[in-house]
């Protein structure tokens, strides 16, 4: 193992949004004087928004810096062979005080051709939801491009969208080509490919402080839709304590649910980094040389070179992510 690597924490990159609120500050303890914070980018290699290490000997180095130096020791051999000096995932917490725009994301092929980017397959884990809060995922009826465009042009799009009431622990897998939006009152964890490409198709006719509407991308979006997707976006998963329960496994990432009530020994059997997002309580992570605490709303990256470690907690729920 590279002796210089250890469990890494990063400074969150906070994003002000027209739809953002104060739960990231109040519930997840994100320090900021900004109003309306919609997103906390926990681990990011998006150009212009690269995460910076906040702990240990590598403090002040960017994710890009350390990936360039440590390569497969950081992300694993198969990942380094595939992605090179590009971290493959973007990890976020999102607070929707108001509804997000109705949107979808392009697949790898379209995103590469149009934007020189990865596509944006993603998943959501609901951490908290106000009474009656919804997620919008997919359509509530069989759909064609012609029918969709008629509703879009008639401003009746919401009549054909599927609204799901949600509660803590609800999990959704959002494939590229599927229409979706986070509804007001929802706080969630998001795991996605490293991409910031979003096609906004409807924004509730709202305007900013200067009276301007946000840009829509309907010309680009129509080719990105998959109108024949099955309604398989709600994820059922086991919640057995003190073991990793698989939630989502796709070509881009695997995410497990881990509820801890005691110390457990873990072994990284994957040729990959491990990411832990703390969505409830707090836990301690111990390697041979380092002891780190991860609290609610915090995220930690264990380099691929760390094979054996221990996690202890009496009350934590962690999302465990790898590629």
* Whole-angstrom distance, CA of residue 52 vs CA of residue 12: 8
| pLDDT (0 to 100) of residue 207 | 85
User: Measuring CA to CA, how many Å separate 281 from each of 11, 37, 285, 313?
Assistant: 20, 22, 14, 8
* pTM, full prediction: 0.96
Strand extents, DSSP E, 226-312: 245-249, 254-259, 264-267, 274-280, 282-286, 291-295, 299-302, 308-312
* Whole-angstrom distance, CA of residue 18 vs CA of residue 41: 17
* Whole-angstrom distance, CA of residue 109 vs CA of residue 86: 18
| pLDDT (0 to 100) of residue 1 | 44
* Whole-angstrom distance, CA of residue 299 vs CA of residue 279: 9
- pLDDT profile of the chain (323 residues), mean per 10: 83 96 97 94 97 97 97 98 97 98 95 93 98 97 96 95 97 97 98 95 89 92 94 97 98 98 97 98 94 98 98 97 98
Q: Which of 182, 26, 214 is nearest to 94 (CA)?
A: 182
| pLDDT (0 to 100) of residue 210 | 87
| pLDDT (0 to 100) of residue 2 | 56
Tell me the β-bridge partners of 127: none
């Amino acid at each position: 193992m590279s002796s210089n690597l250890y469990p890494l924490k990063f400074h969150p990159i906070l994003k002000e949004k027209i739809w953002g609120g104060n739960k990231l500050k109040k519930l997840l303890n994100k320090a900021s004087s900004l109003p309306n914070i919609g997103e906390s980018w926990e681990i990011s290699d998006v150009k212009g928004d690269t995460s910076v290490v906040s702990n240990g000997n590598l403090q002040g180095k960017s994710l890009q810096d350390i990936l360039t130096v440590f390569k497969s020791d950081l992300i694993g051999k198969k990942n380094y062979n595939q992605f090179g000096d590009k971290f493959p995932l973007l990890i976020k917490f999102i607070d929707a005080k108001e509804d997000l725009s109705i949107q979808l994301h392009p697949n790898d092929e379209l995103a590469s051709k149009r934007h020189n980017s990865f596509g944006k397959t993603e998943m959501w884990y609901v951490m908290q939801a106000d009474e009656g809060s919804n997620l919008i995922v997919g359509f509530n009826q069989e759909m064609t491009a012609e029918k969709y465009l008629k509703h879009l042009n008639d401003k009746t799009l919401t009549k054909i969208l599927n609204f799901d009431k949600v509660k803590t622990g609800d999990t959704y897998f959002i494939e590229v080509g599927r229409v979706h939006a986070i509804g007001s009152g929802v706080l969630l964890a998001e795991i996605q490919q490293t991409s910031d490409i979003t096609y906004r198709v409807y924004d509730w006719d709202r305007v900013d402080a200067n009276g301007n509407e946000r840009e829509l991308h309907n010309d680009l979006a129509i080719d990105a839709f998959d109108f024949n997707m099955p309604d398989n976006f709600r994820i059922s998963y086991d919640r057995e304590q003190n073991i990793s329960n698989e939630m989502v496994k796709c070509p881009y990432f695997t995410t497990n649910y881990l509820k801890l009530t005691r110390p457990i020994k873990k072994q990284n059997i994957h040729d990959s980094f491990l990411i832990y997002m703390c969505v409830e309580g707090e836990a301690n992570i111990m390697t041979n040389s380092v002891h780190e605490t991860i609290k609610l709303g915090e995220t930690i990256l264990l380099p691929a070179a760390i094979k054996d470690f221990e996690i202890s907690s009496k009350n934590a729920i962690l999302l465990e992510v790898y590629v």
